[in-house]
Every structure is written in C-alpha cells, then in structure tokens.
C-alpha cells in the first residue's frame, strides 16, 4: 500500500466558496472529517479536509467543478461500509457525502425497473418495493447505499441467481470529473448503443466521477420461498455439495457457507442455537412445486457428501432471522475477539476450484494459529476468510497479510480473482497487477487519465497514476 | 451517414512487409477485397486495400503494430454478417480476417466455461458442446463468429432468459491499437478487480482493438425443453401476452414474435405450412414439471388476449425445424421481394412500452404502403421491422429511412434504445447522440482517443472523431 502520496488540501478560496454555497452543509469539524475518512477497512484514518453534504446532482456538479478547477480530490461517501480503504483521504481533499440524496425517484413495477438517488440504501429500497410485491436482490452485508454498491460492483447472497451490480444497473447519471453531467444506458433491458459506459462506471470505485442517479432492475417476489440449513461433517463436504448444485444447473437463489467459527459467532450475536458445524444456508425461489423440486434435488446431493437432513425456516420471520444473522456474521465474528481488527479476503474462483481454494486456506490459517472465520457466497465460487488480529501486535497483522497474499496467489493460479465483490481500493493494488497484468492496468490508467486528467476523483484508489 | 472521410491507404512498404510475412494470406485481389468490404447492410461497398488472414494472436499483434506505425485502418472481419456497415472500409486500410482463428481452446464443463478463438462460430461451438450436454445460448440470426458477436454485443432469441454477450463474456484477450496484448477478466463468475475492461470491449465494434480470445459462460442443456407456437388475432394481442409473461416473472427461455408477413416468408422458404397470422414462437426450459407449469401459465395468459391453443413441437427435430425457420426469417423475407434491399430497425424499449412501440410502427408502415416484416425478441422489448426497398427506386429507401427515424425517435421517447443488438456502425450515429446525449458520446470519444490515439481501429464506426 502506497501511502506516500502528495496531499492536495482544499485551498482557502475554495473552502470559502463551498462555505458560502453550502452553509452548515460544508464542515471542517474534526470528528465529522474523521468519521468520513474511516471505513470498515483495517487502515488508519487520513481524514479529508472538509465534508460537503450534497442534496442534488446540480450541487454535486458544482462541487466537482470547483474541485477540478482547484485540482482537489473528491471522495464520494455513502454508508461508509467499504472494506478496502476506498474512503481514506490519502491525498487530502473533500469528502462528498451523498446520503441526503436518498430519494426513490420512480418505481416502474410493470417494467421491473426503479430509479433511485445514490444515497438510497438497499434496505430502504426493499422496504419500498415489498408493498408492490417486488425486491432488489443485491445485498452486501452492510446496509450500503446503492451508489456505493455500484461503485464497488457489489454482490452478496443472491448473486448466484440474480447477478451482481454489474448485471442489475441498467443505466446511471454521472457527474464527470470536469463537472459535466453524463447519462448512460436507458431503461431498455439490453442495448448495443456504443461503449458500455454504465459498466465502465460500475466498479470504478469513485475514480471516474460521482454517480448521481441509478436505474436498476428489480424482480417480482417469488411465488414461493423456502430457506433451509444443512450441516456437514466438514467444510469440504459443504463445498463439494455446492459444486454439484451449480454444475447440475439447479437455480438456487442463495447458497452460503458458514464455517463452525462463523456459526459460533452468529449464535452468540443473534442467539440462534445452531449446531456449531460447517453449514450451508440455502434459499429456493420459484413456484411451490419448483421450490419443492429444487430442495429435493439439493437434499439428495447433500446426503451424498454426508450432509444431514435440512432444517427448514418455513415462516418469513424465521427466514429473516437466519438471513439477518448471516448478514451480521462479519460483525459477530469481530466480537469473538474483543478489540480485534479484521483482514478480510475476497477471492473468487471457478466453481470446480473452490474446494482446493478453501481447503488450502483453512489448512494454512490453522497451521498459523490465528483466529479466523469463513463466510462464503460459495455458489459463485466466492468466500471471505477473516483473520482476526490484535492491533497491539503488529506481527499478527503481518501474518494475516502474508496468509492473505498466499490465498490470493492460489486463487489467481486457479484462474480466479483477488476480489469477487469488495473492490481493489488501497490494499489490493499489487494483486490487481498480479491478476490482470501490467498491460491491462496500463489500459485502466489510460482510461482514468482520459476521463479525469487532473486526477481529482478518489485518487490513489485501484492504482496510483 | 458521413462518407466524406479522408482515406488512409496501406502504403507500399507496409504492403510489402505484410506480403513477405503472410505470403498468399495477404491479398489485394479485388473480388476478395470487395467480399470483405461488404456486409448485410444496405450500404455500398468501399473495399479495403488488402485482406490479411491471421492465424494467431501473435500475427494479429504484428499486423496491428504495423498498422499503428503507418497510421492505417484495421477492420476485424469474422462472418461478414453485420447489419450496420461495420465492415465497410470507409477510410481505406486493411481487413483483418480472423476466420482461421477458429479453434475451441478449452471446454471446462465442470465450471460451465469455454475458451475460444474469435473466429469460432456459434453453431460450431454448439456442435462441440452438445455432446457434453452443454450449450451456448446467444444466437443472432446468422451463424456469426463469437468475436463479431462480442464486438456488437449481440443477443438473439435466448437473451430473455440467458442474457446477451454482455452477460456471457467472462473475459477476453485483446490486441490493443498499439499492438500490445491485453488480458481482461478471469474464469471467475464475478469480480470487482478494477475497471470492467471486458465490458468496455464487448460492444466496441472493433474500434478499441482486436479480440483474439474469449472466455464464455455456457449452460447445461435443460432436463426438459418444449417449444410451442401460438397464433393471435392481432400483433397487439401477441405483444400484450408477452408483456404479461415478463411482468409475472415466468422464466421463459425464448419468446419470439413473427407477424403474418414473416410467417408467410418462412412458410415459403422452409415449407412450414404455418397459419399466416401473428404468432409467438416460445420455448420453455427446466425440469419436466417446471416446463409444464410454465407452459400452462403462458397458455392461460395467451387465452386472455385471444391467443389460440398452443401447437407443440415435441421432438427435437420439430423444434430445430421451427427455430431454423425463425433464424431464416430475415433471408426469407428478402426473397418475398426479389432483388430488394432491406432497411432493418432494432429498437428495444421497456416491456410496458412495447405495444405502443410496435403498434405505431405498424400503423406508419401500413400507411406508407411499403412491404415490411416484423420479427422480434419481444421478451426483451426488442423487435426488428424490416422495410423492403427496391434499389432502383431511391425514394423507397428514403421513405424507409424516414419511417425508421420516426420509430427510433418514438423508442427514445419511450426510454428505450435505438439498437438492442445490432450496434451503431455507420448508420445509427445520429441516433446514438439522440439517445445518450452529446456528453456521453464525448466521453466515448475520449476513451477512443486514449486507447487508439492514431484512430486505426475500425475508424468512423460508432462515431467519427
């Protein structure tokens, strides 16, 4: 991680202009700045010089235009739930808080599309949609904003069936680095109209502009939903079951692995009383008979690998309780080692390589003796191993980083990626080069220079220029 | 359509270098050049100065490197089935024929991925996959190459269930305009590793580099497949049925509209004996019971709108016959007016707007009295209206273009796109600006200049610089 950047502070005339325009929606209070320079990553906070709360795309355009004029970094801010240091003001500049742009602009139920401002969170959107019998499937653990989720190309537990932000953003509005407003995509389901700017911005981690509006695909709530847990004698057995499910083309909606450590953590945090053994938490969507058929197929596969009888969550309340616990897994695990920090991995491999990827990583961390937990969107080949480290013991952090590096190297050898859903941010820049090669990163840098010649948009993230 | 480009012919020293390196795989024969300067579009041929047949990515890199040095246009060539003038050498230069790079490099059945060279055609791939119980769903009408299909972000009849090339290209290898080889993506199902270069190249119409390899998603052949045709009293009834199917979330695999003119044409061409009335041609994929359930739901919806009883194609042979006829619809329709040319539209709108989009277009062409036909991937909101014009009567072509422009304007007003799957090419450049705005096209131009500063890659397509 390169932290030796030159900082580019907000100059006094620009600060004065912002203060005049935004009043108390522009703040230099240290506590607020520190809160905006922090995320869920284990890095130390370099706070921004000021925080501006935007309430409209016009305001965003004004701020970005000023920043471009003065060559000052702009870091878009949503829920603050990044795990990769995206929000750290490594080159100074301002944090542009978009949480007040939180209106759901349109729900087009008949087209299964919705238009939202970037500060809308996934839970807020689903609250609104539920009444219409609809839902938006992408669910990272945190109640992230949809702007942030687009910026990191987030996914979550439903991606195996419904795709990620890559597949579910139809179009967006952007304030580009020059302050101009750009619209990409349309509400049509597909298009061949020129370069796919939408997907260039999705996953660009705030480095190409500020997303000010999103058109998203939404889905009808399935006629039938059932969730089940299944315990296995080993992580490997659970993973082998998953591989079979995917290879047979079962349209499973969610297929999540929790290792015994994660189950223990969520038991403790959410008082669930689950058996503390490797577990798949699954959900089936479809018609009544379709769901029953899928569940039966999966139960048979699980039995082949020593999986036990499914335990069903039949009521919506029981389902919600299980999935809420799953979404709390990360925070629950942190609480198992009070005061700890967590180095989280995010590799994703072709499904046939998943067992090797997980088994070796478990062997290595067990040998190293560091506390850890595993949760995984295993249906996608994606899992997170969290290493819990004591901030007072730098050697633990180093050990965790070394284990993480070995895991990434293995994932790349297995033709996978260093990050399935969290993004590159500050921490994985070396891994990005290992994964995709210097030529591809050089191409990314060319694109960045073309669209942000003064390097003001979240500079120093993904790569340094 | 701007045809007043300066041409940049291949200079003699470069031609000599190519001839020395490629021998008779570098040709200046007029017939060959004219064949490579033509596609399925109604434009006149400006042939390239020479045609080079590449057999490896190294050879592609050599050709592009030379072209970049000499500032000479390179036009990648596959099956020649573009409908939008992509292959026309409007600025001179060379046609780079990739059809000899037609090896299927790997089939990873357990991961549902395949790696292919760009000259592999969709039928060739499916021949290979069928034996393993697998298939690749994207099927434009022609037996296009996968490189060409990626370049135009193609889709076809299965997109409503399986997505388009956008969703099904996992990664690719590219020779960039500077002759460097770049790898994008991986075999992982999802990734957040930096800018989505894969999807920037998919749909870039050969303007950012030459695709030399593709990793694609493939799918298990469904346990059960059934195809049915259903006749309707009007196009509107068929469209209303489609809208309901999609809004209810029925996971239909294919949902194609043929108007009475198209049915007549395929009857004539493929001796089918279908009733010459508006028709939906549908296919259901899933388990035996799942397919039965879907079909029953759809039959009930169709009846509400006056649709008749389904006629089933129960055997694989009967299904193949129907779908082959569907894929012949374009050529069949051309034969209904011997010697004609065809102006083909490709709008795609949000599903709720599809009836308005089709009905108005039909009303206008009926009023104008021009022969036409309609085929549509209506499950996506996408349809093609082909206007058949007599090349000896320029007024017919002008009328067709005027009707097409009105249809596009309407599609944009309905929040759709001017092209669902054919691309912008030469002909829709004005529509692209209308659709996405000057700012977005300016952003596309910036990307192009950054990655191809000498403007050698298929110049003059999508936009002019």
User: Out of A191, A416, A443, whose CB is closest to B188?
Assistant: A416
DSSP-assigned states of every residue in B39-101: -SSSSPP---SEEEE--SHHHHHHHHHHHHHHT--EEEESSS--SSSTT--TT--EEEE-TT-
Q: List Cβ neighbours of A201 (8 Å cut-off, separation of 6 or more).
A: A150, A172, A174, A184, A208, A209, A211
Nearest to A153 among B153, B192, B286 (CB): B192
Q: What is the pLDDT of residue A39?
A: 85
Is A437 in Cβ contact with B183 (below 8 Å)?
yes
Residue B63 to residue B176: CA distance in whole angstroms: 11
Structure tokens at B33: 């050049």
Which pLDDT value is given to residue B5?
64
E strands present in B198-295: 209-217, 219-220, 224-231, 254-258, 279-286
CA distances in angstroms from A195 to A156, B82, B89, B386, listed in the order given: 27, 17, 21, 25
- Picking from A289, A432, A447, the nearest residue to B289 by CB comes out as A289
- What is the pLDDT at residue B1? 45
Instruction: State the nearest Cα–Cα gap between A167 and chain B, in angstroms.
Output: 7
For residues A400 and A422, what is the distance between their CA atoms, to the nearest angstrom?
Answer: 18
Pick from A188, A289, A437: CB nearest B417: A188
Q: Strands across the sheet with A74-77, in order?
A: A26-27, A50-53, A94-97, A74-77
Judge whether A116 and A213 are in contact, CB under 8 Å: yes
pLDDT for the residue A141: 87
Per-residue pLDDT tens digits for B106-135: 999 999 999 999 999 999 999 999 999 999
Indicate yes or no: CB of A417 within 8 angstroms of CB of B463.
Answer: no
pLDDT in tens, chain A (465 residues): 444 568 999 999 999 999 999 999 999 999 999 999 988 877 777 899 999 999 999 999 999 999 999 999 999 999 999 999 999 999 999 999 999 999 999 999 999 999 999 999 999 999 999 999 999 999 998 999 999 999 999 999 999 999 999 999 999 999 999 999 999 999 999 999 999 999 999 999 999 999 999 999 999 999 999 999 999 999 999 999 999 999 888 999 999 999 999 999 999 998 889 999 999 999 999 999 999 999 999 999 999 999 999 999 878 899 998 999 899 999 999 999 999 999 999 999 999 999 999 999 999 999 999 999 999 999 999 999 999 999 999 999 999 999 999 999 999 999 999 999 999 999 899 999 999 999 999 999 999 999 999 999 999 999 998
- The domains found in chain B, sorted by start residue, are 104-220 (3.30.465.10), 223-425 (3.40.462.10)
**Cα angle value A454/A146/A420 (rounded, 5°):** 80
Question: B119: which 2 tokens?
Answer: 């000259």
Distance to chain A for B266, nearest Cα, Å: 27
Q: What is the pLDDT of residue A113?
A: 97
Phi-psi region of B415 (alpha: psi -120 to 50; beta: other; left: phi over 0): left
Nearest CA in chain B to A196: B200
What does the pLDDT average to over B18-35? 97
Predicted local confidence at residue A1, as pLDDT: 45
The yes-or-no verdict on residue B334 having pLDDT over 70 is yes
Length of chain A: 465
- State the DSSP string of B323-344: HHHHHTHHHHHHHTSTT-EEEE
Q: Do A184 and B346 touch (CB under 8 A)?
A: no
Q: Which of B462, B211, B198, B118 is nearest to A443 (CA)?
A: B198
Judged by DSSP in three states, A76 sits in strand
Task: Report ipTM for this prediction.
Answer: 0.96
CA distance B245 to B227: 15
- In chain A the first and final C-alpha atoms are separated, in Å, by 14
Answer yes or no: do A447 and B450 touch at CB < 8 A: yes
The Cα–Cα gap between B229 and A18 comes to 63
Say what the pLDDT of residue A427 is. Answer: 87
pLDDT at A5: 64
Report whether pLDDT(B398) > 60. yes
Task: Categorize the per-residue pLDDT at B2 as very low, low, confident or very high, splitting at 50, 70 and 90.
Answer: very low
What does the alpha-carbon distance between residue B297 and residue A241 come to, in Å, rounded to a whole number?
32
Q: Across the strands, what pairs with B337?
A: none
Closest CA to A453 of A215, A224, A104, A177: A177
Token pair 């700017």 in the structure block, residue: A197
| List of E strands, A186-290 | 209-217, 219-220, 224-231, 254-258, 279-286
Q: What is the mean pLDDT of chain B?
A: 95
Query: CA B160, CA A58: separation in Å to the nearest integer?
Result: 37
The partner residue sitting opposite A440, judged by closest CB among B184, B352, B421, is B184
Contact B440 A203 (CB under 8 A): no
CA distance B210 to B57: 9
Residue pLDDT, tens place only, B424-462 = 999 899 999 999 999 999 999 999 999 999 999 999 999
**For residue A168, what is the nearest residue in chain B, using CA coordinates?**
B167
Contact A187 B350 (CB under 8 A): yes
Alpha-carbon separation of residue A204 from A6, A160, A174, A210 (angstroms) = 22, 22, 12, 10
User: How far is residue A187's CA from residue B167's CA, in Å, rounded to a whole number?
Assistant: 17
Q: What does the block give as tokens for A439? A: 């030529």
Beta strands in A273-316 (DSSP E): 279-286, 311-313
Beta bridge partners of B156: B139
Asked if B139 and B156 touch (Cβ cutoff 8 Å), the reply is yes
Query: How many Cβ atoms from other residues are within 10 Å of residue A320's Cβ?
Result: 12
Does the structure show a pLDDT above 70 at B143? yes
Chain B: nearest CA to A448, how far in angstroms?
A: 9
- Considering only alpha carbons, which residue of chain B is nearest residue A156? B190
Q: Which of B192, B174, B191 is nearest to B183 (CA)?
A: B174
d(CA A87, CA A83): 9
Mapped onto helix, strand or coil, the DSSP state of residue B355 is: helix
């Amino acid at each position: 991680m390169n932290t030796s950047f030159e900082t580019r502070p907000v100059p006094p005339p620009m600060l004065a202009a912002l203060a005049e325009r935004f009043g108390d929606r522009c703040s230099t209070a240290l506590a607020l700045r520190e809160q905006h320079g922090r995320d869920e990553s284990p890095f130390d906070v370099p706070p921004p010089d000021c925080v501006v709360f935007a309430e409209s795309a016009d305001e965003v355009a004004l701020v970005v235009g000023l920043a471009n004029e003065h060559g000052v970094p702009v870091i878009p801010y949503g829920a603050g739930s990044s795990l990769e240091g995206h929000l750290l003001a490594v080159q100074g500049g301002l944090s542009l808080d978009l949480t007040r742009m939180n209106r759901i602009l349109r729900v087009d139920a008949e087209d299964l599309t919705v238009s939202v401002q970037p500060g809308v969170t996934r839970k807020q959107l689903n609250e609104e949609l539920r009444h219409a019998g609809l839902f938006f499937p992408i669910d990272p653990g945190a109640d992230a904003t949809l702007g942030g989720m687009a910026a990191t190309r987030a996914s979550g537990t439903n991606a195996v069936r419904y795709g990620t932000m890559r597949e579910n953003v139809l179009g967006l509005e952007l304030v580009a680095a020059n302050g101009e407003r750009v619209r990409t995509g349309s509400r049509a389901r597909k298009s061949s109209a020129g370069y796919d700017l939408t997907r260039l911005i999705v996953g660009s981690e705030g480095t190409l502009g500020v997303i000010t509006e999103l058109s998203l695909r939404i889905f009808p709530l399935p006629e039938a939903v059932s969730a089940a847990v299944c315990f296995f004698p080993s992580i490997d057995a659970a993973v082998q079951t998953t591989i079979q499910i995917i290879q047979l083309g079962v349209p499973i909606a969610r297929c999540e692995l929790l290792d015994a450590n994660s189950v223990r953590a969520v038991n403790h945090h959410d008082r669930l009383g689950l058996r503390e053994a490797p577990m798949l938490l699954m959900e089936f969507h479809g018609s009544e008979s379709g769901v029953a058929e899928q569940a039966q197929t999966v139960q048979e596969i699980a039995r082949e690998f020593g999986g036990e009888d499914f335990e069903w969550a039949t009521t919506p309340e029981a389902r919600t309780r299980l999935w809420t616990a799953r979404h709390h897994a990360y925070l629950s695990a942190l609480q198992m080692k009070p005061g700890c920090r967590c180095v989280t991995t995010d590799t994703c491999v072709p499904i046939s390589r998943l067992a090797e990827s997980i088994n070796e990583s478990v062997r290595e961390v067990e040998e190293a003796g560091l506390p850890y937990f595993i949760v995984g969107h295993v249906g996608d080949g994606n899992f997170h191993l969290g290493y819990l480290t004591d901030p007072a013991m730098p050697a633990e952090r180093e050990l965790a980083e070394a284990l993480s590096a070995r895991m990434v190297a293995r994932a790349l050898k297995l033709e996978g990626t260093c990050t399935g859903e969290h993004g590159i941010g500050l921490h994985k820049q070396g891994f990005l080069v290992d994964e995709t090669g210097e030529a591809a990163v050089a191409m990314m840098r060319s694109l960045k220079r073309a669209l942000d010649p003064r390097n003001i948009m979240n500079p120093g993230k993904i790569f340094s220029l």
